[in-house]
Amino acid sequence: GWDVLAPVYLRLQRYADAVTAYRNAIRLDGDSAARQAGLGEAIANAAGGIVTAEAQGAFDAALKLDPANAKASFYLAMGLAQEGRKAEAAAAWQKMLGQLAPDSPWRNAVQQALAETAEPPAAAGKPATGPDAGQVEATQQMAPQDRQAMIETMVASLDDRLKQNPRDEEGWMRLIRSYVVLGEADRARDALGRAVAVFGADSEQAKKFTAFAASLGVTATE
């Protein structure tokens, strides 16, 4: 049924299909916190990792059905962080930590998110961070589709910070590499193009970005 297909589509990164599947599951099999949270996750990933208003609506619906739903709570806090409401996001994650079971697969992810939120905001000359080895490791206990979604959300946050601090050379290289790891060749190519545009096509940085991307199998489009 749709309940089986939805998480499979999510794992395969077929996010639009996952959205449809979750909506069909809700329509045909009834509302549930797990289905609403899955729908929100699919909507967010279809939007490139951004917790949109539509995704927030699904997560809110999940929490009304089950106030302890960790996935919904986590992503709503992530949405606050993406809106720049870092203090509110941190408070929400701290509340989650107090409610999660000691062996919850979400505990490490929440701790990593809190550490990320506690860092000073990116400013001119300050490198933008993205998902590092520790953050990726923190997601290993999650279901595959949740782990993939979490990493994509981290990458989306890095992309957003680079829009605020576009002259971060290492940040651009990290973003290109992250999209390659996610299998998002088009986004990696787009990131390369944006990085080159920031510094100028004839700059040393552009040459470095182009060579780095080429080593990952990504070439700029004409």
Query: DSSP class of residue 163?
Result: H
Q: Look at residue 145 in the predicted model and tell me its pLDDT.
A: 63
Rounded CA separation 159/105 (Å): 26
In terms of pTM, does the model score above 0.85? no
The C-alpha angle with vertex 120 and arms to 189 and 90, in degrees rounded to 5, equals 95
Amino acid at residue number 164: Q
Query: Residue 208 in contact with residue 192, Cβ under 8 Å?
Result: no
Query: Residue 116 in contact with residue 92, Cβ under 8 Å?
Result: no
Q: Tokens for 54?
A: 């539509």
Rounded CA separation 134/209 (Å): 25
Which own/partner contact pairs does 205-210 have at CB distance under 8 Å and 24+ positions apart? 205/169, 208/169, 208/173, 209/169, 209/172, 209/173, 209/176
List phi, psi (to 5°) of 56: -60, -40
Query: Residue 126 in contact with residue 167, Cβ under 8 Å?
Result: no
Q: Look at residue 158 in the predicted model and tell me its pLDDT.
A: 79
The C-alpha angle with vertex 218 and arms to 213 and 222, in degrees rounded to 5, equals 105
Residue bearing tokens 């470095």: 208
- Domains along the sequence of the chain with CATH: 2-165 (1.25.40.10)
Output the tens digit of pLDDT for each of the chain's 222 residues: 898 999 999 888 888 999 999 999 999 999 999 999 999 999 988 887 788 899 999 999 999 999 999 999 999 998 888 887 889 999 999 999 899 888 888 888 888 788 777 755 444 344 444 554 455 555 555 666 666 666 777 777 778 888 888 888 888 888 888 888 777 888 889 999 999 999 898 888 888 888 888 888 888 764
